[in-house]
Structure 1
Amino acid sequence: MSDAGVEEAVEIPPPEGEIPPIPGDDSIEVPDGSPPLTRNGVILEAAFVDPSSSWPPADGEGKNAIELQASSVLLDRDGTVSLASSKKSSKSKSKKQDTSEDPTFVDVNKKTNTKSITRSKTTTVEEQTIGFRWCCKSKEAVLDTHTTEAGNDAALVEEKERAVEEANALKKAMKEKERERKKQDRYNRVPDGILIYKLDTATHTVELLSGGHSNTDSDSLLQKMVVARASPLENDKTRRGIRLTAIDGTESTLIACEQRTATSWLEAMDMMLGHGGRNKAVTKAAKAEASGADAGAGKPSTKQSSRAWAGGLKDAERDAIEAEYLNLASYSNKLIRAGALPNQKGKGGAGGIYYSMEYQSEQSDHENEALESIAKRRAVIKDSWDFYRMICSLLRDKRKYDEIFRKLQLDPVYPYLNSMTGLNDPGDAEYENADKQVLQHDLPEFIEMTKIEVANSLVKKAEEALPSLVEICKALAGSLGMEEVGVGPIKDPNTAIRKAEKKYEGDLLKVTDYCRALLVVKDFPSLLALLELARDSFGPLIRRVKLSTLKSDHGSLPGGYRDCKINLELKDHVCEIQVHLWPMWTVCGVDGFRHYRHCLEYSTDSFVDPYDALEGLDRKTLAELVVMAEEAVADIPLDQLEWYHEKFILDYFAETGLFMKHGLDVWAETTLRQLIKLRCESPEIGPDHHETMILNNYLERVLIKLKKTKEAKEISRKLKAYEERNVNEKQEAETSLWGSFFNAPSDVYDAVMDPNKKEREEEEMLRKEVKASKKKWRKIRQERFQFLDSAAPHQEEKKDYK
C-alpha cells in the first residue's frame, strides 16, 4: 500500500472590480474640435439627392429598381440597424447560450462573498481477486473542510452591483461599436443619385455618411456643418429642399428624396435650435474655434432660426417633445415602408429605406418610448387629422353648393319660383320643428303601445304604401325624363325614434319619411313642371310642399344643401318625395345626406374658414398633424400630382392650413401654387372657377406674410375682377329678364325715374319681375313641356293611389 500526498482545492472569486478588456475596443474616439455638449439628443439619418444626378430617376431606371438595389445592402427593411448576428443559430442553440466566452458576463446569482477550503487524503491498496488478477483500489478521506468569509454583506452587495453596472456599460459600448461598424457597411453601396446625411441634434451637426458616386462633385458637397439656422428652400416646386446656415454664416442646400424627410428634419432642427442649453454650448464652441481661425474666416453666426418655436420651452420639456415627435415620425415612416396603411399603392421611394431615428441620453438605463405608446399616440393624432380633413371636405362642398345656388338664381324662371308659396312649409325652422303640421294618423291603439311598438306599426304602414309610391315615381319620371330616380329603403324603427327625439321632442307621428323616394330634375323649369304635374295628377293626396330652402331670403340646410320636399298620403300613411336639382346632386350624390348630417353634428356652418378648426392647437400638435398629412400623401408627391387626383388635392389643401398655422409659409406658397395650377388645368374647373379663386385668396394671405407685396397685389386685383364679373353676371341676367317684359323704352324710363317712391317701387318692381319670370316660364313650358296642357283635362282618369 502506498500513500498519496494531500491536495488542496481552493475556489477563489475574481479580483474586485477587474473585468477583462473588450476585444478590439481601442477606446471610443471623440472627433477633434467637438464642443463639450450634453449627449441628450436625437440622431436622424435619411436619403438626400446627389446634386450631380436627377431625381426622381430617369425613365428606364425607375424608383423600384433603385429601391431593390438599396434594400439588398440593408439588414432591416425599416431603416434601422440590427444588432443581431447575420448568421442565426438554431433554436436549440439559442436557448443554450454560451456565456463563458463573453468577457462582460457577470453571474449575479453566483456567491462570491465566500471561499471554501477542503483538505483530503488519498490511500492506494493493491489486492488480488479471482482469476489471479491484481488491481488497485484507492480510498479518499476528507480531513477537514472550512469556509472563510470574504467581507461584510453590504460591501459585497455594493461591489456586485458596481461590477454589473460596469459590465453593462462595457456591453453597451461594444454594441455601439458594432452599430457604427454596421452603419459604415450599410452605406458602402448606396445607389446612384442618393447621399446619406446624419443630423445630430445634440451637437447641431449635419454630416455626410455615404461616399460619392462616379459623377459626384465631392468638392461641392456638404461634408459637415454646425447648423445655426434652417428654413424651407424657396422656389422649390418639389417641396423637398432645406436651406442650412452654418455657425460661421455659410449656406448650403439639401434636397431630400422624399417630402416627409424634409418636414421631419426641418421640425427636428427647429426644436434643436430652440434648446437654450445646447445653443449656448454650440455658440461658445464656435466662438472659440473662430478665435483661432484665419483672419479671413467668417464670423460665427448667433442668429437663431425664425421658426425655433421650442425656444420658449424648458430644455427638459423640449427634449420630451423632440423624442415624442421623432418617434411618431419614425413610426409613420415604418408603416409607409411596410405598406401597412389602407389604400396604400406603394411603399414610398428609395429614400424611405434610409429613414431612421435614434434617441440618445446620458442615462445608461434610458429606454426608447414604448412602441405601444407611440402607436396609441399616433391613433389619437390620426383621428385628429381625419376630423380636420373632414371639416375641410365639408366646407369645400358647402362652398360648392353656395356657388351652384348663386348660378341657379340667374335662371330667368327663378323669380317666379321664388315667389311661390309652399304648402304647410315650416320655413327655416325645419330642423327643430316641434309644431310640425303634417302628421301620421294617430291611431287609438297607439295609446297603449311603447315607442318601439308604435315605430314598428308605422313601418308596416310604410311597407303597405311603398308600391303606390313606386307607381307615382314611375309616372313622374316617365313624363319628365328624370336624371335619377330612387325609392326606399323603409326607415328603420330605431332610426325613426332617434330622429323624433332630436327634431320633434320624441313625437313619432311627426316623422314623415318612413316611406320615401327621390327624384333628380335637370333644372328649375323641370322642377316647376314636376310641381304642376303633381298638382294636376294627385293634388288631393298632397299634404305638404316644402320650397323654403330654395328661396333667396331663406337659409339652406346645414352644409349648404337645398331641395324640395313633397309629402303625400298613400294608404293612410304620409310618404315623402325628395326632389333634387341635378347641379346640386352632382356635388355629393347619394352621400348628400351624410354631408348634411355631419355638418349638422359638427356645426360646420359656424366656420367661415376650415383652417379656423386649427385654432388653439399647440405647435407640437401641429407638427404631429403634418406627419399624418405626409402619411396621407405618401403615394403621390406634390410635383407628381395631377388635376384628377381629387383625394390628394384635398389632402394637400388641408396640409396647407397646417403650414400656414405652423409658420411654414414657404411650403404653403409652394403647395398653393401647385393646387392653383392643377385647378386651372382641370377641364371642369378652370382659372375663373370659385375654387381657384379661393386658393388665390389663401395665396394672397401667404404672400403678404412672406412680404411679397408685388405678387400679393397682383392676386388681389385678380380677386376683385372675379367679384366684379359675378356682379355683372347678375345684372346682365336681370337686364335680359326685364327686356322680355317691357314693351317700350318709356316703360324702363318710368320704372327708373321715380327715386322718391323707393319703397313702394321696390314692391312694384318685384311684382313686375315675377310677372316677367312667369312669362318666361310659359314660353319654356310651351317649348319643353307641352304635355302639361293635356294633363289637366284627364284628371278624372287618373289612377286611384289611395
Structure 2
Amino acid sequence: MMQGESPQDATSQANSKKAGTNPTPAPGVSDGKSPPVSSTYRASTGTILEAAFVDPAYSWPPADGQGKNAIELQASTALIKSASSPGEAVHDDDDDDVSLTPSLMSSDDERETVPQRPRFRTKKVTRVESAGKSGSSSSSFLFCCKSAEEQVITQHEVRVDERGMEITDEEATRLQHEYTQNRAAAKSSKEARREQRQARILAKRKKKRREARARERYKRVPEGILVYRLDTSDRTITLVSGPSSNTDVKTLLQKMVVVHAKPSSDKSRRGILLTGSHGETHELVACEQRTAIAWLESMDMMLAGKMGEAAAAALKDAGGSAKARSSAWAKGAEGKLSQMEREEIEERYVNLAAYSNNLIRAGAIPGGAGGGGKKQSGGAGGIYYTVTQVREDGEEYDEETLESIAKRRAVIKDSWDFFRMVCSLLRDKRKYDEIFRRMQLDPVYPYLNSMTGLNDPGDDMAMGGNMGGDKPISQVHRKEYDDMSDAQIAQDLVKRAEVALPSLVEICKALAGSLGMEEVGVGPIKDAGAAIRKAEKKYEGDVLKVTDYCRALLVVKDFATLLALLELARDSFGPLIRRVKLSTLKSDRASKPGGYRDCIINLELKEHICEIQIHLWPMWVVCGVDGFRHYRHCLEYSTDTFGDPFEALAGLDRKTVAELIVMAEEAVAEMPLETLEWYHEKFILDYFAEVGLFLHHGLYEWAETTLRALIKLRCQSPDIGPDHHETITLYKYLEQALRAQKKKEEADYAAEKVFKNEKMKNTEKVQAERSLWDQWIAEPFESIMDPNKKEREEEERIKKEVRASKKAWRKIREERFKFLDGAD
C-alpha cells in the first residue's frame, strides 16, 4: 500500500491487478453465487434518542394521590435491577452470524488474489565451430565431421523465464519489483479486510448488548408509559417497550418512517404530530415538555438533511411512497448548510438537550429547578430520556467534549438570562405606564400637574430638559477643592454627608410621623467610587453635581399625600429646600428610563446638599427596592427603544434560538404548564419569554397553547383580570400566533378584544372631543369667524379642570390633613 492510501484504496488496487476480474462487490451486494446479505455495521452517522411518552389509554401526570410517586419509584427500581442484572448473555459464537460479502472472505479464496512470484533459471548455451578444406561450418550439439580437420567449442549462460524464453536482467528486476509491490498491496488489503471484519463483529456485539439492555430496561416500564426510540440516521421511530394492560394495540404506533413532524394542539404542550411514509398520522404526547421540544427539533434537523442510505433503505423496507416534507431547517440560511454542518449542529443540539436533562434530573440547576420537592414533576419521563450518538468508530465522548458542552450551555444560559431580563424590564415598564395612566384619573392630579417645580428643568431633552449636564444645583464649591483630585473631592463630600445624615433622619421622622408614610428608608451614604462613576456618566465628570451622597426615601400613599408632604415641607423647612423636581410626574413629560416616575426634594443640611426621594405607593410596589436596579438596567441597555421585548431576538440564527428554547425549558422544568397557577409570577415570566422564542422559531402551535394558558391565569388573578393591560398584551401575541396558523376567526376574536380595550381606555378622551365637537356644531359660523376658538376652549377647559382639582384637594386636605392648617 502506497503512503497516503486508505486500506480500501489498497484493496481496490490489489484486485484490479487481476486481469479479467470484476471489481469487488460492495457490502450487501450479491456476487451471483450467494443471495444478498445486509451488513450489521452501518457507516452512517446520526443520533438515537429514547424517551417516555404517554399511553393514550392513560392520563398523565397521574392525579394527586394516585400513584405518582409510585410510578417514579417503580421506574427507578427497574433501572436499578437492569444495572445489577447481567441481562441476556452475548457469547462469542455470535460472531458466526456475522455476514461477510465476498470481498471480506479471508479463507483460501484470498490466495487467488496474491500474485505469483516470478521464477527465473539459468541456461547454458554451447557453440561449436569447425574448419575444413572446403571452409568452416558450425552447428550446435550435432556436427558432421566427414571433412573436418578442426573443432572449436565455446559455452555461456543466459537467464530465461518459466517458458524458456530468454529475459534480460533489467526485465527480471522490473518483474521482481512489481511482484514485491503487488504482494505488499495484497497483504495490506487483507489486513484491512480483517480490521473491517473485526469492526463489524464489534458493532454486532455492541448492538446485541444494547438490545439486551434495552429489553431488560424496558421490561418493567410503569403502566401508562410507552418508550419510543428515534433514530435520525434512518428517520425511524420505534416502540421499544411493551404495551400496558389498557393499551389499544390496534391504534398503537409500533414503527414509522417519519416524513413530517409538527407540534400538536395538545393543551399540555407535550404533543408531536407525526406523518409516516404511507401518509398515516400519529400523535405522540411526551411525559415531559422538554422531551417533545428536543424530539421535534431533532426531527426538523433530520428531515432538512439529505436522505442517506440508511434512511432510503428504511423507507424502501417500509414500502412507503410519501416524500419528506419541507422543514424549517431547509429554508433561509440554514438551507445552504452542507450535510456535515447539519450533522455537527444536530450533535451539538442533542448533546445540550441531554446535558440539560441530566442536570434537571440530578437537581443541579442553580435556583432550584429540578430539585427539591418538584424534582419528580412529570414522574418517570425524565428517567427514560437518553441520547446515543451513532458513529462510525463507535467511540464514546471524552471529558473534553463534555467540558465543551458545559461551556456551550453556560454561554446559552447567559443569553437566555439576558433575554428574560429584557422581557422583565419591558413588562415592568408597561406596568409603570399603565399605573401612571390610571393615577392621572385621581381628582387632584390636574392640580399637581399644573404645579411648577423649583429648579426643575427636567430630564426630558425633547421638552428642553437635560440629562444632568446643566443641573441647576450642586454641592458647595470650596477653595481647597481647587488643589484636589476628583477622588479626593468625592471623599471629602462623603465625610460631609456622614455629618449631615442625622439631620436628614430627623426631618424624615417628622414627615413620616405627620403623614403616615407607607415606607421610610435612610442611607446608605454613597461611596466615592459610585459618585465618580455617576459624575462621569451624567455630569461630565463634575462630582459636585452629585447631590445624593446623603439620601433618604419616603413612600406616600397617593397624589393627595404627596401634595400634603410638599406643603408641609415648604412650611417646615422651606429655607433649606434647594430643588423640588416634579417633572417626571407631569403628563407631558417623559418618565425616567424604564417608565418610573417620582418626586425629588433636595435640601441643604450642614452645608451639604442631601436628597429625599418621594415614591408613590402604586409605582413602588411594582419593583420595590429593586426599582433602582430596574432603572439602571433600562438605562444601560436602552430598553425604552424596544417597542416589543421579542425584538431582542432579531438577527439570531435558528440554531441559537433552538438552544435558547432548551434553556427556557430548563428554567420551567419544575413547573409544567398544566400545573402553573396565577401566583407563580416567576414561571409566568419564563413562559412568556419562551413564547417569544416559539414565535421567532415558527412553533406557533406551542406559542398558542402557552398564550392561552397565560391568559387564563391572568384572568384568574385578583390583581389583574381580563381587561388588564398584561392580559391584552397576551391577546396581541395570541392574534399573531393564530394568524400564522391561518386561524382567521380565532385571530379576529383576539383582535376584537384588543380593540375593545383600547376603546375603553380612550373613553374619556373621546367624550372630551365629543363635547368640543358639540360646541363646534352649535356655533358653526362663530367657529369659522374665529379659527382659534377650539384652542382657546381647550385652554379654558384645562383651567376649569385645574380649579376643580384644586377644590377637590382642599376638600381632601380638610378631611385627611387638617393638621396642615396649624402648620401655616
TM-score calculated relative to the size of structure 1: 0.79
2:663 corresponds to: 628
Change (3 A) 1:783 1:365: closer
Deviation at 1:287, TM superposition (A): 6.3
Verify: 1:64 aligned to 2:69, yes or no.
Answer: yes
What is the DSSP-based 3-state SS (H/G/I as helix, E as strand, rest coil) of the residue aligned with 1:219?
coil
2-structure distance, mates of 1:307, 1:164 = 38
Q: Which moved more, 1:588-597 or 1:161-170?
A: 161-170
Whose radius of gyration is greater, 1 or 2?
2
Change (3 A) 1:562 1:735: farther
Verify: 1:314 aligned to 2:346, yes or no.
Answer: no
1:97 corresponds to: none
The alignment covers a number of residue pairs equal to 682
Letter in 2 for 1:318: R
Deviation at 1:640, TM superposition (A): 0.8
2-structure distance, mates of 1:321, 1:401 = 42
1:221 corresponds to: 252
2-structure distance, mates of 1:202, 1:674 = 36
Alignment of 1:200-219 (within 5 A): 200-219=231-250
1-structure distance, mates of 2:807, 2:425 = 38
Verify: 1:539 aligned to 2:577, yes or no.
Answer: no
Of residues 415, 420, 425, the one that matches 1:394 is 425
1-structure distance, mates of 2:795, 2:606 = 44
2:17 corresponds to: none
2-structure distance, mates of 1:400, 1:547 = 20
Verify: 1:692 aligned to 2:722, yes or no.
Answer: no
What is the DSSP-based 3-state SS (H/G/I as helix, E as strand, rest coil) of the residue aligned with 2:411?
helix
2-structure distance, mates of 1:527, 1:774 = 14
1-structure distance, mates of 2:781, 2:711 = 43
Letter in 2 for 1:337: R
Contact 1:229 1:303 in 2 (8 A): yes
Query: Deviation string for 1:145-164 (max 9, x for gaps)?
Result: xxxxxx99999999989877
Contact 2:236 2:314 in 1 (8 A): no
Contact 1:273 1:305 in 2 (8 A): yes
Deviation at 1:173, TM superposition (A): 4.4
What is the DSSP-based 3-state SS (H/G/I as helix, E as strand, rest coil) of the residue aligned with 2:652?
coil
Deviation at 1:786, TM superposition (A): 1.1
Change (3 A) 1:157 1:36: closer
Letter in 1 for 2:349: Y
Letter in 2 for 1:246: G
Alignment of 1:241-390 (within 5 A): 241-278=271-308, 282=311, 286=315, 290=319, 300-305=322-327, 309=331, 311-342=335-366, 343-344=368-369, 345=372, 346-348=374-376, 349=378, 350-363=380-393, 367=397, 370-390=401-421
1-structure distance, mates of 2:576, 2:723 = 46
| Unmatched tracts of structure 1, length 5 or more | 1-26, 88-101, 104-150, 291-297, 739-744, 793-802
1:39 corresponds to: 44
What is the DSSP-based 3-state SS (H/G/I as helix, E as strand, rest coil) of the residue aligned with 1:252?
strand
Alignment of 1:664-683 (within 5 A): 664-683=699-718
1:99 corresponds to: none
2-structure distance, mates of 1:709, 1:766 = 44
Deviation at 1:199, TM superposition (A): 0.3
2-structure distance, mates of 1:315, 1:431 = 56
What is the DSSP-based 3-state SS (H/G/I as helix, E as strand, rest coil) of the residue aligned with 1:439?
coil
Change (3 A) 1:431 1:183: farther
Verify: 1:406 aligned to 2:429, yes or no.
Answer: no
2-structure distance, mates of 1:211, 1:364 = 28
Q: Which moved more, 1:644-653 or 1:368-377?
A: 368-377
Deviation at 1:426, TM superposition (A): 2.7
Letter in 1 for 2:50: E
Query: Deviation string for 1:247-306 (max 9, x for gaps)?
Result: 11011111100100000000001001001233x87468646864xxxxxxx753443356
1-structure distance, mates of 2:358, 2:233 = 24
2:823 corresponds to: 791
1-structure distance, mates of 2:769, 2:568 = 28
2:790 corresponds to: 758
Deviation at 1:452, TM superposition (A): 2.2
1:477 corresponds to: 512
Query: Deviation string for 1:573-616 (max 9, x for gaps)?
Result: 00000001110001001100000000000000010000000011
Of residues 549, 554, 576, the one that matches 2:584 is 549
Letter in 1 for 2:431: K
Q: Which moved more, 1:300-309 or 1:256-265?
A: 300-309
Change (3 A) 1:201 1:161: closer
Letter in 2 for 1:779: K
Change (3 A) 1:724 1:548: same
1-structure distance, mates of 2:346, 2:714 = 37
Change (3 A) 1:490 1:476: same
Q: Which moved more, 1:170-179 or 1:470-479?
A: 170-179
Change (3 A) 1:724 1:484: same
2-structure distance, mates of 1:760, 1:728 = 23
Letter in 1 for 2:499: E
Of residues 398, 408, 421, the one that matches 2:452 is 421
Verify: 1:767 aligned to 2:767, yes or no.
Answer: no
1-structure distance, mates of 2:189, 2:407 = 40
Contact 2:260 2:324 in 1 (8 A): no
Q: Which moved more, 1:163-172 or 1:384-393?
A: 163-172
Query: Deviation string for 1:534-591 (max 9, x for gaps)?
Result: 0010000000000000011110000000000000000100000000111000100110
2-structure distance, mates of 1:66, 1:761 = 75
Verify: 1:707 aligned to 2:742, yes or no.
Answer: yes
What is the DSSP-based 3-state SS (H/G/I as helix, E as strand, rest coil) of the residue aligned with 2:732?
helix
2:150 corresponds to: none
Deviation at 1:71, TM superposition (A): 1.1
Letter in 2 for 1:621: T
1-structure distance, mates of 2:724, 2:39 = 57
Query: Deviation string for 1:337-366 (max 9, x for gaps)?
Result: 000012233334310000011111234568
How large is the RMSD of aligned CA atoms in angstroms? 3.4
What is the DSSP-based 3-state SS (H/G/I as helix, E as strand, rest coil) of the residue aligned with 2:623?
helix
What is the DSSP-based 3-state SS (H/G/I as helix, E as strand, rest coil) of the residue aligned with 1:354?
coil
Verify: 1:450 aligned to 2:452, yes or no.
Answer: no
Change (3 A) 1:753 1:715: farther
Deviation at 1:781, TM superposition (A): 1.5
Change (3 A) 1:289 1:501: closer
1:143 corresponds to: none
1:24 corresponds to: none
Contact 1:36 1:281 in 2 (8 A): no
1-structure distance, mates of 2:257, 2:623 = 53
Deviation at 1:307, TM superposition (A): 6.6
Deviation at 1:413, TM superposition (A): 1.4
Deviation at 1:180, TM superposition (A): 2.3
What is the DSSP-based 3-state SS (H/G/I as helix, E as strand, rest coil) of the residue aligned with 1:263?
helix
Letter in 1 for 2:206: K
Deviation at 1:479, TM superposition (A): 1.0
Query: Deviation string for 1:204-228 (max 9, x for gaps)?
Result: 1000000112222222210000001
Contact 1:559 1:605 in 2 (8 A): yes
1-structure distance, mates of 2:67, 2:425 = 38
Contact 2:532 2:543 in 1 (8 A): yes
Change (3 A) 1:471 1:367: closer
2-structure distance, mates of 1:713, 1:747 = 36
Of residues 183, 203, 209, the one that matches 1:178 is 209
2:552 corresponds to: 517
Verify: 1:777 aligned to 2:809, yes or no.
Answer: yes
Deviation at 1:772, TM superposition (A): 2.3
1-structure distance, mates of 2:780, 2:817 = 33
Contact 2:42 2:392 in 1 (8 A): no
Contact 2:234 2:312 in 1 (8 A): no
2-structure distance, mates of 1:562, 1:59 = 46
